[in-house]
Structure formats: C-alpha cells, structure tokens
Amino acid sequence: MTTQARAAHPFDLTGQVAVITGSSRGIGRAAAEIMAGLGAKVVISSRKAEACKEVADGIAKAGGEAIVIPCNISRKEEIEALVAGTLKQWGRLDTLVCNAAVNPYFGPLAKIPDEAFDKIMASNIKSNLWLSNTAAPHIAKAGGGSIVIVSSIGGLRGSTMLGAYGISKAADFQLARSLALEWGPQNVRINCIAPGLIKTDFARALWEDDKNRAAREAGTPLRRIGEPDEIGGIVAFLASKAATFMTGSVIVADGGVTIA
C-alpha cells in the first residue's frame, strides 16, 4: 500500500510523532507498539532506559521507528527534557500519552500516610499537568493533535482499599475536561481512557490471586479481565483522524464492570 493510500485511512498514524510515558511495559508498551505499527514515530519512556530499549528494539525489528528517552515523571526537569529530546530528534510532536502512574498504598483512607497520599497526587495528577503544559504548545504548533490520559474506572467508583488512587484518577477526568477547553481553540484534543482491570504488572496484586480474579471475572459481563493491547488500541484511536471530533471525553473500557 502506498503512503498516499495509507494517509487516507482514518486510523493511519503515518507522519505522527508520539511520546508515551510508562511505555516499557503494560498498557504503555502496547500503545507504543500499536501506534508504531500504524506508522507513528514513537518515544519510549519510563524511568529505566534498559527496559525502554527492549521495547524500542522490538519496534525497530518490526519495521517501525522508536527512540528511548528515560523520564521520571515526578521531576519537572525530566519532563521538559523528554519533550525537548523528542523535538530535537524529530522536530515535532503530535501526540502525548500520559500513561505512567503510581500507587504506593493499598488500604483505607483513614490510615494512609501523608507521604503516600502526596506521592499519588503528585505522580498521577500534577505530573500529567506538567506533561500536558509542556507538550501542548508544541502539539498546537504542529497544527494540532492529541493528548491521551490513561486513567481508571477507579475514578468512577468508591473503594475501601484504593481510595487515594481513585481520587487521583477522578481528578484526571477533570484535568482532561479543563485542558480540553483551554486547548480546543488550537486544535489540541485531550481525552481520558478509564480501563477496568487489565493484565499488567502494575495491577498484578489484583489479578494474580485466583480467588480474587474469579470473583472479578464473575462480576464482569465479558467474564474476563482485559489485555494491554485492548487499551493500547483505544489510545491509537484517540490519536488518529477517526477521533478528531472528540475532546474532553472519558472512554470506559472495563468489560462492562461499571454497568453490571
């Protein structure tokens, strides 16, 4: 298929440059691999360069283009370096995927240490604001594009054990809505994805226990948990021409848990 023919396809990402945080594994890795397969040039980023290099090498082997720029999203100067490095390599930025997140505490809000609460809010909310504010002007300069925040259905439901994490994920929804209003006039779209339980290392404690997993699957209309590429595909969709009239939205992808 020629480049011209591919460009006419609404899901084609040829010519795009995308930065994906937390892309050494899980949802971020799936998103990077899918986007690269659709023609995007991708920046693989997480705290550990070695893990990122494995992903970038795999993309290159499959015929895609990827570079590695390590970044700890809790450090503003590293976020600025991530965007600057992307621009230095490829001269533009079209899509930012805010996927990296933390959850250092599992337990009731009544007992959460201040430092754990602060870390969750800083990494899951403030870092996404830093990333968006750093990237959005360059996305606008490129003619417009997309920012995707990977949130969670934890932002839609109460929890006795993941309350702080849920607060941060609910805040992501509102962050996307407000940024969408600010940047819409410059053709920068900001949307959220709210996955349910996905088979990732991040959520391992929730799905590795057979009893807990069986209970979760029984309460899920699709009777299973999700796979990373099922969310990665939604990320790619939001970055594509197929989603150019979507902004400030929250896409729930949870196998039906929240409607059951």
Average confidence (pLDDT) over 180-196: 98
Which region, left, alpha or beta, applies to residue 9 given φ > 0 means left and ψ of -120 to 50 means alpha? Answer: beta
- Beta strands (DSSP E) in 69-206 are 95-98, 145-150, 188-195
Q: How far apart are CA 255 and CA 260, in angstroms?
A: 10
At 60-100, the pLDDT tens digits run 999 999 999 999 999 999 999 999 999 999 999 999 999 99
- Neighbouring residues of 110: CB distance < 8 A, sequence distance ≥ 6: none
Assess contact for 84 and 134: CB atoms under 8 A.
no
Q: How would you classify the pairing of strands 17-21 and 250-253?
A: unpaired
* Structure-token match 């990827």, residue found: 66
Average confidence (pLDDT) over 150-155: 97
Please report, for residues 80, 117, 161, 164, 202, the alpha-carbon distance to residue 112 in angstroms, rounded to integers and kept in the order given. Answer: 31, 7, 10, 8, 20
Assess contact for 252 and 192: CB atoms under 8 A.
no
Please give the pLDDT value at position 200.
81
Please report, for residues 178, 189, 192, the alpha-carbon distance to residue 245 in angstroms, rounded to integers and kept in the order given. Answer: 16, 8, 14
Whole-number average pLDDT of the chain: 94
Domains with residue ranges and CATH for the chain: 3-253 (3.40.50.720)
Q: How would you classify the pairing of strands 250-253 and 188-195?
A: parallel
Question: DSSP code of 162?
Answer: B
Please give the pLDDT value at position 211.
84
Q: How far apart are CA 233 and CA 196, in angstroms?
A: 15
At 9-63, the pLDDT tens digits run 899 999 999 999 999 999 999 999 999 999 999 999 999 999 999 999 999 999 9
Q: How far apart are CA 49 and CA 42, in angstroms?
A: 15
Q: How would you classify the pairing of strands 145-150 and 41-45?
A: unpaired
At 108-136, the pLDDT tens digits run 999 999 999 999 999 999 999 999 999 99
Assess contact for 28 and 22: CB atoms under 8 A.
yes
Catalytic residue, candidates 13, 83, 127, 165: 165
Is 165 an annotated catalytic residue? Answer: yes
From the number of C-beta atoms within 10 Å of its C-beta (0-12, 13-18, 19+), residue 10 rates as: exposed
Q: How far apart are CA 69 and CA 79, in angstroms?
A: 10
Q: How far apart are CA 161 and CA 14, in angstroms?
A: 42
Assess contact for 151 and 193: CB atoms under 8 A.
yes
Please give the pLDDT value at position 1.
46
Average confidence (pLDDT) over 177-192: 98
